[in-house]
Chains A and B, each alone.
Chain A
Amino acid sequence: MGASAIPIILMTLLWGAVGIVLPIILPKGPNRSLLQCILIITAVSCWLFWLCCYMHQMNPLIGPYMHNSTLLAVRKLWDE
């Protein structure tokens, strides 16, 4: 399992807050249920979308294939 806990916890907390906490503390009003519906669907979709992206990269089957000039630049700019 090539996952690290911090991003998973943070993202789950973020979308959990949007999708679970916000709908509960929403003020009463004529549109409350509609807003709840909107928030829950938003949170579920966005969280799942992020999760799929994260999981797809957890255990990559292939690595990026790159030109050696690009590799040199990457090494200089990102890795040093």
Chain B
Amino acid sequence: MGSLFRSEEMALCQLFLQSESAYTCVSELGELGLVQFRDLNPDVNAFQRKFVNEVRRCDEMERKLRYLEREIRKDGIPVQDTGENPEAPMPREMIDLEATFEKLENELKEVNSNAEALKRNYLELTELRHILKKTQGFFDEREGSMEPGGQTSLTQNLLPEDTKGPIQLGFVAGVILRERIPAFERMLWRACRGNVFLRQSEIEDPLEDPATGEQVLKSVFIIFFQGDQLKMRVKKICEGFRATMYPCPEAPADRREMAMGVKTRLDDLNTVLSQTQDHRHRVLVSASRNIRIWMMKVWKIKAIYHTLNMFNLDVIQNGLIAECWIPVADLETVQLALRRGTEKSGSLPAILNRLTTIEAPPTFHRTNKFTKAFQNLIDAYGVATYREINPAPYTIITFPFLFAIMFGDFGHGVVMALFGAWMVWKEKPLSAKKTDNEIWNIFFGGRYIILLMGLFSMYTGLIYNDIFSKALNIFGSSWHVSLSDEELSHEKEFMLDPTNDKQYEGAPYPFGLDPMWQISTNKINFFNSYKMKISITFGIIHMLFGVALSLWNNRFFQKTLNIYCEFIPQVLFMCCLFVYLVMLVFHKWVWYGGVGSSGETAPGCAPSILITFINMVLMKGYEEKKPGSVCEPYMYAGQFGLQRFLLVVALLCVPWMLIAKPYLMHRNQKRRQMMVQANGGEGVIEEGGVTAEAPAAEQEDMGEVMIHQGIHTIEYVLGSVSHTASYLRLWALSLAHAQLSEVLWGMVLRIGLSSGGHSGGIILYFIFAAWASLTIAILVLMEGLSAFLHTLRLHWERKEVSKESRIVGTRVEFQSKFYYGMGYAFIPFAFETILEQAEENVVAEQCK
């Protein structure tokens, strides 16, 4: 039997590893990914473990690599991912790796600090150049206005005419961030009481800030003032506003000379800077080739040491002792891996011992890419108890099928199936693209579910004969219009007569619903009863299937008591009430109506099944045939008696479920006590200490068993009723879906289809776009999601484990019949998952 039906058999093993070979063995096991180690030192603090130093070294390496990666990304160099999976390096290689990373980091740091210094220098020189260039203009203006005999300007008038030559004005020149200029100007005005003169000019090109690498806009300013006191004040303000001041010679010749000097120095600096950048680039490019591999190596080493930290030290033999869960089927493979590990290190072989334990082993389902998504659906609600029947293989079909009953529309099904098929088709390139987009990841993870849901929706859509709310007439409708023109003109609306063989062929449309219904005005009435009946039928079969699975569970765990005291009454209860209901549905389909039906089988005589069922449960008295009526009150002879009998059997099942099991357990226990007493002390010796203590423990449990059984019974009886009603959601949702798609067609696409002429074509173009996008967004996406959730609810089970009583709560329709889901998952130590997680972290960090 495939392991998906039940979880794998697990063995708890003890592993003796020589300290020399422990590392290589764990590395091999990590590549294999089939072993779950148990932490043998849970009380030991993370810092007091044996290999804490190594873990710390790995962290350090990881930090360096992250630094390198950040730098690589900053320069926009692509990181090469060859898809190669390197083996975990030997411990001695760790030193080499450390040395390499150390060297790289230092080199990079040096290059970076050099580059920063150079850049700062460069910035200063550029600013100085700008100052010299801009201030030239200011000085020219001033000197122009001072020229004797030159044109008088407004500013000149402020100066007395008789002074010889210009007044000796001091000035400060510098560069400031452009956004600080207004505040700067205001501050200067206030602090110096308007006695300074500020000129400023914007530098057009943005400059690079060497510390942050950002581009900033700056302005050149020059401030003229008179006297030392003002000079001090101005300088203080400049410092306060983080303006950089540069010396600027007053004489034009000096300025020119300085400008020349600055230019040559800038040129030199440019060459040096580009060389430094080249060097940095070379270092990073060579690092980018290996960084993936290095990262993987470091992650692997770290994972190995983390695992080794969970082991116990064997002081005498200088080895390590590990405890681990291994699937029994893989014991051989694990042994082989251990042998490979010891061969690599060349020490004594590792020893694997199977232990016996009473502890519950972890649950391990071997899944592939197809079954994984379904297993996740189940596990999301509770991991199966060890070796319990796994609902996943049945869910693979029942889930998409129940979904399709609600989503039945061929057109929408095609859209969904194509989307799923595209994801399956492009599986490899799509999964290689790692994204942080959660919605996409959910869709992609469920690609096989989506494909199957689409395919089944196509089938149910064809059966419903519903394609974007229109029907196909492939085989020719069974209904015929035999009315003449004259008859038709009498009345506006007609009902085709199902008893007339001219209007109804007698045999239905061979596949799916007759297309005539889709264009009739009373189709809702017809679909209503049809969809309600199929949802009840499928719901009850689904639930019965769940109960039947519990038989396999009980047989597997050899709980014969559960079969007689739970399974049989449960099946009887369900058959007597609900399967009988389904029988009535089928009987009504066959017995009443149809071509040429008259008398007691005439369409008018058909009773409502719901009312019949309610009357049965309420034990309504025997009904006589009404005088003058052709209809019989009962659907078949002996119905009244049979219904009474079934109801009594169903009611008897309740105390059977409730009392039988606790009573039998109590009796067995008493008998065992008698045996022990009769045998005196011998029995105790024979069976060992454990059994001798057992009766006492069981006695205490009796009360709990009673409560548990009571809850279980109530839950089952009430559950059967409410779950049957709950399956009516299939009916409601499928009706709603069909209605919605019809409304969309009638309100939107019809406008486009009914507009004629050339402009009609253009209108139709846009209307179709609107209709198509609404169909995708509302009918496929939103309705699909709601149908998905309802299906999930029909499959899942909900439970709250409270401390007082073991299981209280409600479990939903299908799984509640057999599934306990009290297990815990098998999480093997595997490099694959560890690397995946580490990589996801990296991706998430990048996206930030």
Contact = CB atoms under 8 A, between A and B. Distances in A.
Interface stretch (B160-168, B486-494, B813-821): B486-494
B517 interface: yes
Interface in A1-50: 1-4, 6-7, 10-11, 30-34, 37-38, 41-42, 45-46, 48-50
Contact of A57 (B483, B513, B541): B513
Given A37-B393, A41-B397, A67-B521, A58 B508 contact: yes
A59 B593 contact: yes
A63 B394 contact: no
B593 A54 contact: no
A55 B503 contact: no
A71 B503 CA distance: 12
B145 interface: no
Nearest to B477: A78
B521 A65 contact: yes
A70 B519 contact: yes
A38 B397 contact: yes
B537 A62 contact: no
B519 A7 contact: no
A68 B491 CA distance: 7
B494 A66 contact: yes
Contacts of B510: 4, 6-7, 10, 54
Interface stretch (B29-37, B584-592, B633-641, B718-726): B584-592
B511 interface: yes
Contact of A52 (B493, B509, B517, B534): B534
B397 A48 contact: no
Contact of B522 (A1, A58, A65): A65
A35 B371 CA distance: 11
B183 interface: no
Q: Is the interface of A mostly helix, strand, loop or mixed?
A: helix
B481 interface: yes
B473 A56 contact: no
Interface in B484-524: 485, 488-489, 491-498, 503-504, 506-514, 516-517, 519-523
Contact of B593 (A4, A48, A52, A60): A60
B516 A74 contact: yes
Given A63-B498, A64-B522, A46 B459 contact: yes
Contacts of A3: 507-508
B594 interface: yes
Contacts of A53: 463-464, 512-513, 530, 534
A64 B483 contact: no
Contacts of B473: 78
B517 A64 contact: yes
A45 B405 CA distance: 11
A7 B371 contact: no
With a 10 A CB-CB cut-off, give which of A6, A52, A53, A78 has the most chain B CB atoms.
A53
B370 to A, nearest CB: 9
A78 B476 contact: yes
B534 A75 contact: no
Contact of B530 (A50, A56, A72): A56
Nearest to B520: A64
B496 A48 contact: no
User: How many of chain A's residues touch chain B, expressed as a range?
Assistant: 35 or more
With a 10 A CB-CB cut-off, give which of A38, A70, A74 has the most chain B CB atoms.
A74
B282 interface: no
A68 B488 contact: yes
A27 to B, nearest CB: 15
Contacts of A1: 590, 594
A4 to B, nearest CB: 4
Contacts of B530: 52-53, 56
A67 B513 contact: no
A57 B493 contact: no
Contacts of A62: 495, 498, 522, 525-526, 603
A56 B533 contact: yes
Given A41-B394, A48-B537, A58 B517 contact: no
B419 interface: no
Contacts of B444: none
A34 to B, nearest CB: 5
Contact of B534 (A49, A63, A64, A78): A49
A38 B393 contact: yes
B219 interface: no
Contacts of B498: 59-63
Given A38-B397, A62-B522, A79 B509 contact: no
B494 A33 contact: no
A18 B595 CA distance: 34
A58 B590 contact: yes
Contact of A59 (B1, B2, B517, B589): B589
A45 B591 CA distance: 24
Nearest to A54: B508
A7 B492 CA distance: 35
B520 A65 contact: yes
Contacts of B509: 57
A61 B606 CA distance: 8
B353 interface: no
A78 B496 CA distance: 15
A34 B473 CA distance: 37
Given A3-B507, A62-B498, A74-B516, A68 B493 contact: yes
A2 B519 contact: no
Interface string B393-408: 1101110010001000
Contacts of A31: 2, 368
A67 B481 contact: no
Contacts of A50: 463, 511-512
Interface in B560-607: 586, 589-595, 597, 603, 606
Given A3-B508, A33-B2, A64-B522, 10 more contacts: A34-B5, A34-B396, A52-B530, A52-B533, A55-B589, A55-B590, A56-B530, A59-B592, A60-B603, A65-B493
6 contacts: A52-B534, A58-B589, A59-B597, A62-B525, A64-B520, A71-B494
Closest 3 CB pairs of A and B: A59-B594, A64-B520, A57-B508
